[in-house]
Amino acid sequence: SFFMTEDGGENWTNIADQIPGPDTDICGLEHQGDSIWGVGVFADPAYLIQSNDRGQTWSWTSMANHANALVELAMSPSGELFAGGRTDTGATILRSTDGGQVWETVFANSDGLEFIWKLDFVTEDVAYGTVESFSGSTSMVKSVDGGNTWIELPVSPFYYDLQGIGFVDEETGWVSPRNAALWLTTDGGQSW
């Protein structure tokens, strides 16, 4: 199902049948002005849906050349679009500077079955993201140059399966594992 409201959430219409393409499962949504993007899904395949008329019509684009699965979209303050997910070797972040037409890989690891699950742009330069993994240690990613490059930072030597993330400023933020309590940093992800 894929629902749309035009009255502030009072009523909803399932518009899944209006999305072209073989799949319409959506994990991440983002918007800017009249444009809306969606990516799916945590299971293969990776694809992008897009509307440039406030959700009245949609296009569907395979993203299989860039990722196996996509779960997150985030717009940076400068208007660049970022997608998070995984390839067949590990977690990945893609960037588009033209509204989703052309994508480039700006982060990739080779740690096996991992996802970039959520992204959070705190300022125009500083952004964070969670790495969902299914074994080993726990880490997150950080960019200090507006998403051009990303580094992976450890959260814990133990496995905690990160998903949610939220930062109130460049230094203070939380990550939420799926099966454990919140983790807090007050030094920009250097310690938790």
Rounded to an integer, the average pLDDT of 173-186 is 92
Rounded to an integer, the average pLDDT of 88-107 is 96
Sign, CA torsion 182/172/31/132:
negative
- Of 24 and 50, the one with more pLDDT: 50
Rounded to an integer, the average pLDDT of 101-114 is 93
Tell me the two tokens of residue 120.
Answer: 């959070």
Rounded to an integer, the average pLDDT of 111-140 is 93
Q: Tell me the pTM.
A: 0.94
Quote the pLDDT of residue 118: 96
Q: What φ, ψ does residue 18 adopt, rounded to 5°?
A: -90, -5
Rounded to an integer, the average pLDDT of 135-159 is 94
Tell me the two tokens of residue 55.
Answer: 């959700």
pLDDT greater than 90 at residue 134: no
Span 65-83, pLDDT tens digits:
999 999 999 999 999 999 9
pLDDT greater than 80 at residue 23: no
Eight-class DSSP state of 55 = T
Adjacency order of strands within the sheet including 59-62: 28-32, 35-40, 47-51, 59-62
